Amino acid sequence: MQDLKVRVKEIKGHCDIMREGDYFIVRGSKLSIPESPYFCYWAIQSVAPMLPAKQRKIDEQGDWMATRARREQGVG
């Protein structure tokens, strides 16, 4: 699995917890917030379903994500 650095790109609406540029790191199943004591739970919840997929390498033969990506690009 690949490590991820998830960074706040923009904030729509009001947030008194985070600022643009804040980030958290995902290593395996561990989540760390290195430079800030807090990160918005709702923001993490919104991206959490995508994290395991983004951690994977999709170059394995028969991987459904790689197959779908090639199909969407018109390859294969």
| pLDDT tops 90 at residue 22 | yes
For residue range 26-50, list pLDDT tens digits in order: 998 899 998 878 888 889 999 998 8
HSE at residue 49, side-chain half, CA atoms within 13 A, is 2
How far is it, in rounded angstroms, from Cα 28 to Cα 25?
A: 10
